[in-house]
Chains A and B, each alone.
Chain A
């Protein structure tokens, strides 16, 4: 799937740039956007290291076990394949918590950790497990409590009430997350 998307994004992009007569924009992408990608990966290294270090402490102290036991009813419903007290569960929970509070890069670091743990349990390492699909879909439907950047933009633009969209965002996000979870469950049943 990603194969086709990737090809068509680039192919259509190049064709359009020829029609529009701005072929040099492709060169800008090769120079600037690739640099952005590398910069991002490198900046992620530090945050990744901090969270993996902290997770290791939490694991050794038994905090992760205690934590996943409390949240067991929810995680059992969403991720029935993950064994009790598996490290994947705590990484998933911490990813969701950091996501909720808009700490994007920390969330990414913890999310990658969760994916690694889930892949350890995965029979076919090249094919996403049910748990991974569920995790990603929940992650992508965004459960951010306070969309800070949007609030900032609204305040800067002179909104009379910048925070009035928090409530509507929460309702919309809840609906989209539920639709995501239900679709994953339906796709799972169909195989």
Chain B
């Protein structure tokens, strides 16, 4: 099963590329020139997002490595208990919106400590699969086009994150 899913995921990019190239070829587009022309823009963009990436990596790095992250996690533990969220997954709830690699490490830790088929392991896996890093994504996407005022994006994203947390716990409780 994992093998088949893996195969589908791996082949999606080659499939998209083939469709674009074959369609372009049939329509008589000058493929090579069009590709190079478009590709030129790639460099400008990646250089433009670099300062934003550095800014966000530094802030998150300091917060994480100093131990401040652990304090926040401990602070939220009683609240999670109140909402009957397993306390083992609290670090993940806090980490998920902030850092992708960080939350992957947390998931790995939860799964190896409590077992992949424990309730905490299942909730953590579900949560990891149903949310995305918020601060990083906002910094990169808004940074790339120079947006300073993200308006209600963060609020809406955090609400969506909260929904993913609650949904993960409830769905796992119902299904497993």
Task: Decide: A37 and B111 in contact? CB cutoff 8 A.
Answer: no
Which residues of B133-176 are within 8 A (CB) of A? 133-135, 137-142, 144-157, 159-164, 167-168, 171-172, 175-176
Task: Report the 10 A-B pairs with minimum CB-CB distance, sorted nearest first.
Answer: A56-B38, A49-B42, A147-B129, A169-B129, A180-B160, A159-B116, A176-B164, A13-B62, A48-B42, A33-B61
Task: Decide: A136 and B163 in contact? CB cutoff 8 A.
Answer: no
Task: Decide: B145 and A45 in contact? CB cutoff 8 A.
Answer: no
Question: Within 8 Å CB of A41, what residues of B?
Answer: 46-47, 49-50, 53
Q: Is A75 an interface position by the 8 A CB rule? A: no
Task: Decide: B63 and A12 in contact? CB cutoff 8 A.
Answer: yes
Task: Decide: A53 and B34 in contact? CB cutoff 8 A.
Answer: yes
Residues of A whose CB lies within 8 Å of any CB of B are: 1-2, 5-6, 9-10, 12-17, 20, 22, 25-26, 28-30, 32-34, 36-38, 40-42, 44-58, 60-63, 94, 97-98, 101-103, 106, 108-109, 111-113, 115-116, 118-119, 125-128, 132-133, 136-137, 139-142, 144, 146-155, 157-173, 175-180, 183-184, 187-188
Q: Is B81 an interface position by the 8 A CB rule? A: no
Encoded as 1 (CB less than 8 Å from any A CB) or 0, chain B from 42 to 57 comes to 1101110110011111
Encoded as 1 (CB less than 8 Å from any A CB) or 0, chain B from 92 to 105 comes to 00000000000010
Which one of B13, B29, B171 contacts A103 once the chains associate, using CB atoms below 8 Å? B13
Known: A10-B58, A183-B160. A172 touches B130 (CB 8 A): yes
Task: Decide: B122 and A29 in contact? CB cutoff 8 A.
Answer: no
Question: Within 8 Å CB of B12, what residues of A?
Answer: 97-98, 101, 103
- Given A54-B16, A155-B2, 20 further pairs, Cβ under 8 A: A14-B66, A16-B71, A17-B66, A36-B57, A44-B46, A47-B42, A55-B38, A57-B35, A112-B140, A125-B146, A127-B147, A133-B156, A136-B137, A137-B156, A147-B129, A157-B111, A161-B117, A175-B163, A176-B164, A180-B156
Task: Decide: A149 and B104 in contact? CB cutoff 8 A.
Answer: yes
User: Do most interface residues of chain A lie in helix, strand or loop, or is the interface mixed?
Assistant: helix
Bound CA–CA A54/B67 (angstroms): 44
B52 → A minimal CB distance (Å): 9
Task: Decide: B68 and A13 in contact? CB cutoff 8 A.
Answer: yes
Known: A48-B45, A133-B153, A173-B129. A116 touches B145 (CB 8 A): yes
